[in-house]
Structure 1
Amino acid sequence: MTPHRRLPLLALLLLTCSLAACAPRQETGGSPVSPLTRVPPADRQAAPDLTGSSLDGRAVRLTDYRSKVVVLNVWASWCGPCRAEAPELSKVQQELAAKGVQVLGVDTDAERARGRAFQDEHKLLYPSLHDPASRQLLRLPRGYKAPALPYTLFIDRAGRIAAKYVSPLTEAQIRTITGPLLAEQASG
């Protein structure tokens, strides 16, 4: 093979390897095909009270949503899969809020303006905490911060982490995960 023909093949190989390195890893003991890890009620850990300001500059606290099932979605404006799932999350917020579901985003963009532009472009119907250095996310219990974006934690009505999803979500997947959590009692 001539050097000119090897170059495109080498570029394709490097691209494939770099994309594979960005793929989310699975939790130990989890299914190699499922990005979902559910936590039985007896094993759930309390979610830390993530606090700060939203992209709009308003104060936001995770504990303000106690008694609701919180879909805590971590994203960034440069993340392609985050862009794909944003309309799904807004649809969930619009359709399930009355049932007790609250979507709360965590924007990891370095610049608030980029997060605001993303929020405006996708017409997000839920607040997003601006966490550019991921300082708030560092407070998550061990094993709940994913190595790639997007990822989503599902917080039960009692404020405990009930599930982790390490891939983009659809509205149907969110409904499937939140359904059983809505049926649980807040003290359970």
Structure 2
Amino acid sequence: MRRHPSRSALRAMLLSVVALSVAATTGCGDDGWAKQCATGADGVIRCDPQDRPAAREVTGERLDGGTYDVAADRGKVVVVNFWGSWCNPCRAEADDLEETYQATKAKGVAFIGVNIRDDRDAARAFERGQITYPSIYDPDSKVALQFDVTQASTPSTLVLDRQGRIAAAVRREVARSELQPLVESIAAEGTG
């Protein structure tokens, strides 16, 4: 007997086709900005200040209501984490992200989550009591396209510098022991 793909599998395939189509038509395909940067042995992409691309205008509906606009955080380092309640590595890194947020927010660092391919109620339940920074609700992964992250893995984390440029990216689960020094390093730029 032949099995047919589930609705969620069909939706995931459709989203992949849409993302590839958008990438092909906008010229942003395959994280073109990342090619200008260096990928370390640890898999972290780091961009030298002169090679950092400006993040596009990114806005979205917050999971808890209201809207978020990355331009409102200009002047701060912004950590953007793409996650889903269905993602086990996302669950594993949530405490590390929250601890890094708490440890760096006084240094002019903002965090924003981007909840992708998820149910709003499941996402809210995941956040409740676990993370205190806001998240954008992005069931169709449109925000990832705005960040020119056409092949974003989940979890995935971007760090924007104070000028709103992409300074670093981690395309896997991240631990506080590597994220906090990375964020603090970018936050200290130009303040010495």
What interval of TM-score do these two structures reach, taking the shorter chain for normalisation? 0.7 to 0.9
Contact 2:37 2:48 in 1 (8 A): no
Q: Does 1:127 align with 2:127?
A: no
TM-score norm. by structure 1 comes to: 0.76
- Once the two structures are superposed, the pairs formed by residues 100-179 of structure 1 within 5 Å of their partners are 100-120=108-128, 122-141=129-148, 144-179=149-184
Q: Displacement of 1:64 after TM fit?
A: 1.4
Q: State the distance in 2 between where 1:131 and 1:60 align.
A: 12
Residue 4 of structure 2 is matched in structure 1 by: none
CA RMSD of aligned residues (A): 2.2
Q: State the distance in 2 between where 1:31 and 1:38 align.
A: 6
Residue 182 of structure 1 is matched in structure 2 by: 187
Q: Displacement of 1:27 after TM fit?
A: 7.2
TM-score norm. by structure 2 comes to: 0.75
Greater gyration radius: 1
Q: Displacement of 1:94 after TM fit?
A: 1.4
Q: Displacement of 1:31 after TM fit?
A: 5.4
- Once the two structures are superposed, the pairs formed by residues 1-188 of structure 1 within 5 Å of their partners are 33-120=41-128, 122-141=129-148, 144-185=149-190
Contact 2:115 2:123 in 1 (8 A): yes
Equivalenced residue count is 158
Q: State the distance in 1 between where 2:39 and 2:79 align.
A: 22
Q: State the distance in 2 between where 1:80 and 1:62 align.
A: 27
Change (3 A) 1:32 1:69: closer
Contact 2:116 2:137 in 1 (8 A): yes
Contact 1:146 1:166 in 2 (8 A): no
Q: State the distance in 2 between where 1:38 and 1:134 align.
A: 23
Instruction: Determine helix, strand or coil for the equivalent of 2:92.
Output: helix
Instruction: Determine helix, strand or coil for the equivalent of 2:142.
Output: coil
Unaligned ranges ≥5, structure 1: 1-25
Change (3 A) 1:162 1:86: same
Contact 1:27 1:37 in 2 (8 A): no
Q: State the distance in 2 between where 1:161 and 1:48 align.
A: 10
Instruction: Determine helix, strand or coil for the equivalent of 1:103.
Output: strand
Contact 2:37 2:51 in 1 (8 A): no
Contact 2:58 2:143 in 1 (8 A): yes
